[in-house]
């Protein structure tokens, strides 16, 4: 199965995702430019990377969400294609309407860059199937606009439907109910602020992020 990483002007974590996917699958992913209008044939998994797409003008992820390639990603996600968005990628997915809520400036208005404790809230998604519910991970964050916000009704729905995949185990950025990652209703789209692709090798200081990629790629037949 082929995998792909979307690349926008200002992406700076696309290589991190490419290295992670190649480490897990043994095959280099296809790097897909933001101006492309279609995903390559046979793609079975798409990753939207972190960074500062389009310089974070207007709102983080707002311009990237309207790029030609994202129309194709939204269409294919609606058909069940697994899509993963990390950090700026999470922002892009919310702006594209694939996930509810918004990512606002961090509480305290500071850029946060460090390893954080992350708790697996739902271990029954394709992305979390290699983890145990309640397991605590150590995963790095690096963001300025990672404060997840949604109205109370949406938050209650996310929790009631088991769509909160990860929560922060500590105060990080002011996110509502410490939400760090959510999935869509169908469970094939995950957005999260922490960077699991930066914890896939022991040289990274741990491998807690590797199982996310192993789980979802195993589920879709990589």
197 assigned to active site: yes
Quote helix, strand, coil % in the chain, to nearest 5: 30, 25, 45
87 assigned to active site: yes
Give the list of residues 6+ apart from residue 204 with CB closer than 8 angstroms, or none. Answer: 198
204 assigned to active site: no
Helix or strand (DSSP H, E) at 93: helix 88-95
List 13, 34, 87, 143, catalytic entry: 87
List 197, 201, 204, 214, catalytic entry: 197
List 34, 95, 143, 195, catalytic entry: 195
Neighbours of 103 (CB within 10 A): 27
Choose among 76, 101, 86: nearest CA to 188.
76
| 143 and 116 Cβ atoms separated by less than 8 Å | no
- Give the active site residues: 87, 195, 197
């Amino acid at each position: 199965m082929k995998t792909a990483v979307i690349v926008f002007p200002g992406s700076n974590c696309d290589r991190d995702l490419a290295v992670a996917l190649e480490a897990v699958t043994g095959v280099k992913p296809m790097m897909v430019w933001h101006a492309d209008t279609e995903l390559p044939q046979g793609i079975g998994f798409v990753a939207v990377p972190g960074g500062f797409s389009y310089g974070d003008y207007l709102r983080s992820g707002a311009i990237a969400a309207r790029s030609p390639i994202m129309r194709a990603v939204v269409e294919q996600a609606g058909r069940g294609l697994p899509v993963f968005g990390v950090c700026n990628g999470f922002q892009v997915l919310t702006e594209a309407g694939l996930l509810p809520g918004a990512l606002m400036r961090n509480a305290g208005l500071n850029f946060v860059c460090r390893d954080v404790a992350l708790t697996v809230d739902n271990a029954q998604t394709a992305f979390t199937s290699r983890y145990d519910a309640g397991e605590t991970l150590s995963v790095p964050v690096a963001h300025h606009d990672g404060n997840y916000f949604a109205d109370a009704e949406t938050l209650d729905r996310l929790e009631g439907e088991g769509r909160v995949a990860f929560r922060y185990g500590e105060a990080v950025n002011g996110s509502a109910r410490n939400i760090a990652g959510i999935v869509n209703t169908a469970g094939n789209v995950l957005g999260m602020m922490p960077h699991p692709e930066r914890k896939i090798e022991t040289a990274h200081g741990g491998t807690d992020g590797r199982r996310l990629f192993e789980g979802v790629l195993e589920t879709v037949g990589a």
